[in-house]
Amino acid sequence: MKQPPIALTIAGSDSGGGAGIQADLKTFAAHKVFGTSVVTALTAQNTSGVLGVHATPLHFLALQLDAVLSDLPPVAVKTGMLASPEVIAYLATRDLPNLVVDPVMVASTGKPLFTGAADAYRELFARALVVTPNLPETRELLDRDVATVEDMAAAAHELAALGPRCVVVKGGHLAGDAVDVVWHGGELSYLRGARVSTPNNHGTGCTFAAAVTAHLALGSSLPAALRAAKTYVTRALAGSADWRLGSGHGPLSWKEI
Ligand SMILES: Nc1ncnc2c1ncn2[C@@H]1O[C@H](COP(=O)(O)OP(=O)(O)O)[C@@H](O)[C@H]1O
Ligand SMILES: Cc1ncc(COP(=O)(O)O)c(N)n1
């Protein structure tokens, strides 16, 4: 078997298996990328909601990161739920290659996973290759309404001023087609996808960002990684549209690529 490249996810555990660390490692494996992980928090969570969050102490999070970086250096790194503003500020001090920041603040069920993150994220964004906020996160980060594709374009431009090389404002929460707006190299472009009609969208954002990270680890250029991740998440959504796992927002499928 060919030796796989290494990727790292720094994220929360989802006991329901659909989002967070579990979604990321599943997605890395589907891309034949070796996944390592730094767990930022345990969540007691299922398809209907979040029952509780137990954050990892910062010193132990740092120890996990040291353990991984010193022995299994990743080609690309993804962050998901970072559990506190202090963790976000700490990660902004670390050297993390090909950094994909998914600024997770709210579960897909609508419950905030933690608060006070928007300001802290501004520093981490400056270190990122790409940041991937969804619509509610974009509103939180900019403290204003963002509702249309035009609003998303203006928001992507504004977030790019914080320093990431690329911004993807994801349109999973739009009413029509699932259009994501990309700001990269001073230009706007769009990742377009037909909306898959499904209640099973728990972990969509994690899966998209993990697929971007996996493709970067495999050596893709950023534009190619974004296109491939969009195709992957659309196929994963379509593959589980008929699933009945849990009584709420069920998880996505995963696909060998
Ligand atoms: N029902 C859907 N059909 C097709 N694509 C979707 C659907 N829901 C989300 N997506 C896509 O999945 C990715 C994750 O987006 P989004 O759901 O906005 O993130 P999050 O899970 O962080 O809220 C984006 O590429 C988005 O366009
Ligand atoms: C531990 C954890 N991390 C992230 C999410 C967001 O999930 P989604 O991808 O549906 O936005 C979540 N619900 N739980």
Ligand 1 close to Cβ of residue 137 (< 6 A):
no
Question: How many CB atoms are located within 10 Å of the residue 126 CB?
Answer: 11
DSSP assignment, residue 144? S
Q: Kindly state the DSSP code that residue 161 receives in the 8-state scheme.
A: T
Residue 19 identity (one-letter amino acid): A
Our mutation pick for probing the ligand 1 site, out of 109, 137, 170, 207, counting the most ligand atoms within 8 A of Cβ, is 170
Instruction: Output the CA torsion sign for 217, 220, 223, 229.
Output: negative
Q: Are 24 and 37 in contact (CB under 8 A)?
A: yes
Provide ipTM, 2 decimals. Answer: 0.98
Over the stretch 182-232, which tens digit does the pLDDT of each residue have?
A: 999 999 999 998 899 999 999 999 999 999 999 999 999 999 999 999 999
Of 247, 241, 236, 243, give the one whose Cα is nearest residue 206: 236
- Measured by CA distance, the residue closest to atom 11 of ligand 1 is 172
The tokens describing 230, both together, are 């969009």
**Would you say residue 110 has pLDDT above 90?**
no
| Mean pLDDT over each residue of the chain, to the nearest integer | 94
Tokens representing 86 are 């202090």
Q: Which residue has the tokens 């740092």?
A: 62
Counting from 1 in the atom list of ligand 1, the atom nearest the Cα of 195 is 3
pLDDT in the model for residue 109: 60
The reported pLDDT for the residue numbered 112 is 64
* Domains identified in the chain and CATH numbers: 6-239 (3.40.1190.20)
Q: Give residue 114's pLDDT.
A: 66
Residues with Cβ within 6 A of ligand 2? 11-12, 14, 19-20, 43, 45, 80-81, 104, 107-108, 202-206
Tokens linked to 236: 């994963």
pLDDT at 113: 65
Q: Which atom of ligand 1 is least distant from the CA of 230? A: 25
Q: For residue 205, how far is its CA from the centre of ligand 1 (angstroms)?
A: 6
Q: Which residues pair with 181 in a beta bridge?
A: 169, 190
Among the residue ranges 61-75, 108-122, 155-169, the one predicted with the least confidence is 108-122
- Give the number of the ligand closest to the Cα of residue 43: 2
Q: Burial, 14: exposed, middle or buried (Cβ in 10 Å; 0-12, 13-18, 19+)?
A: buried
Measure Cα distances from 73 to 38, 129, 209 in Å: 13, 17, 19
**C-alpha 52 – ligand 1 centre gap (Å):** 24
Half-sphere exposure of 29 (CA within 13 A, CB side): 10
Question: DSSP class of residue 219?
Answer: T
Identity at 66, one-letter amino acid code: D
Alpha carbon distance 107, 129 (integer Å): 24
Question: What is the H or E stretch that residue 153 is in?
Answer: helix 149-160
